[in-house]
Structure 1
Amino acid sequence: MAVPRLELRHLVKTLGASRIVDGLDLAIAPGEVVVLLGPSGCGKTTTLRMVAGFLQPDEGEVHLAGRLAASARFALPPEKRHLGMMFQNYAVWPHKTVFQNVAYGLQVAGIARDEIRRRVERMLAIVDLDGHAGRKPADLSGGQQQRVALARALVTEPSLLLLDEPLSNLDAALRQSMRVELKALQRRVGVSMLYVTHDQDEALVLADRIVVMRGGRIEQIGTPEDIYRRPRTRFVAEFIGRANLLPGTLEALDGQGRARVRLDAGPVFRALGGPGLAAGQRCQVVVRPEQILFAPGGAEARLCQTLFLGSHYELTLELGESRLQAEARHLPAMQDGRLSVAIEDDSAWVLP
């Protein structure tokens, strides 16, 4: 079995009277992208700073490529951890050329001049900046400056790349294109990444696994599909994407995890359930807006609001005592402001 690029063992950090990171256990495999996702103050950046060597753990250990890098009694200096780093402000030097910015880490490491040129030119080609080596950052767009910072972080061939909200200073359109580019680049280079963000879309696009954090602890670890479709807690369901949480009663549960649920609002449908469920118990059903269907024979709902967003409509519905958010490519048929709705079988997820 391959040695993890990063392993955190019961990591704890206390600032003031608060445990900012509270017993974190995590391992990142070679070539894997793990995203720490959560609201401000959940401990994700503090965790990254302990991995980088800017903070020392109060308890627990940080292991890099199988070697101890930090504990409460020991801390390897940041420059000896063989890490690449990218942060919110790209930290490119305005007085240096693109080539000089990217070459800096190699020069500090004492690499021969010919080898520096070879590696910098190769990295600039990988990030689509060949032909820009002699330019200054002021002559580049925000996206190009981002690529310079990325090239500088990767040119030293780190065992792990740390990224703290690296796209947050870009406008929405550029941020969207850069996360796609970043994912493609990571696949080409094969570097392991620990990526911190509060942006759900970034996490879903980039991650092999997402670590959802809350109050210094891990709420759930899983693939983007698992986190979105099978949240383990109400917090995860509401934090990732948009979710309707509908109260109901679990009427039956088979050995395959399929449940029959009767909502308090009346409809009965099939859903999928995780551990901790039993027939007869009260439950909440996580229903994503795109899982709501408009078809004759469903439950009657009242339309409260319609928003047109170009590619689809967003509808706010009232079903019994519950409010529903739904999506539709076309406005469904209705009569006197009422329409028939159903929930797609085996798509919703049941929480205790």
Structure 2
Amino acid sequence: MANNSSSSLASANGTSDWNEQREESTLYRLVVSVTVTLVMALLVFSLGCTTEVKKLWDNIKRPWGIAVGMMCQFGLMPLMAYILAISLGTTTTQNVAILILGCCPGGSISNLFTYWVDGDMDLSITMTTCSTIAALGMMPLCLYIYTYSWELADGIPIPYQTIGTSLLSLIIPIACGIFVNHRWPKHSKIIAKVGSILGATILVVISVTDILLFQYFLNLDLSIVTSSAVLSFIGYTGGFLLALITCQSWPRSRTIALETGTQNMALYMAVLRLSLSSQQFSQIVTLPMFYGAFQLLNGLLITAVYQIYKKCLGKRQDEKALEPHVNTLDVFGSKLNVGFEKEEDGPEHSRMENKAGQFQQGAVHEMTSLKGIL
């Protein structure tokens, strides 16, 4: 009788401890979610201080960079995620989770990395916004195409409300940042630098704290770790190579690479929770954690390598030294690729026209002088 009482007491204590841990975990997740939301709003606002409406509109009117980015985001990434899923021989749940990750639009963290590698900030913000809007139609299309042969019982639901929330959380801070840049241009540069440093530091601290506090929940499944690392690597390198192949300038190539390799993790978690049961979700809960860690580490590595390269070699304008074969035109305040333009529209043609005009004006002046003498 005493044994039964003691075992019941132990069981009750164990259940109580588990419930307390669960409540603490839920409370911590709520605090982290609110903190990350505020930090991302700060980041987007500070980076919006480097943007102008005219330059955003110019990117839309000349959508070569946006088109290449969309091809990488909704062409390359879903295809690579599908190949990776069927190659690793994972379960159906893991396959679905990997594919959903590849079909997600770009995340706002790419704007931060683009700022630190001297990329095209206007293109980065435009791509992030356009990919979020395109996700309303491209995510269901990609998921339908690649899961058609898997014969899933139910389709994968798309959280349109979450996509809309992500879009608003991106557009509103950017609009505020653009207004600050227009009204107080000198102060906007300070805000951009301080906000980017502060935001990046807080994100790194939260990521490290997550791993340390919840390391006993980590499912070190080799397929999950491999898919997270490989898909992140493919996103960065594949986006960069496709940008170079399509004759994008070096700043734009770096921007497209970063946009391709970073996914909207908040939207990804929302789709997973809607698509999977609690038991299925517990099997792949570490996938977004690992992918988020890998995309953050890879982005920081790219940033560190670029900053060291720029500091050691003193080549702040590396585009001129490394792109002698690519025609670029400095319009709208940034280097734009004119590989799609006709040769007679290039800067060399403009200089020749200027010289011809000066020569013609000089000849007319000489003829007028001679007539006056005669």
Give the alignment's TM-score, normalised by structure 2: 0.22
Higher strand proportion, which one? 1
Which of the pair has the greater relative contact order for Cα pairs under 8 Å at 6+ separation? 2
Higher helix proportion, which one? 2
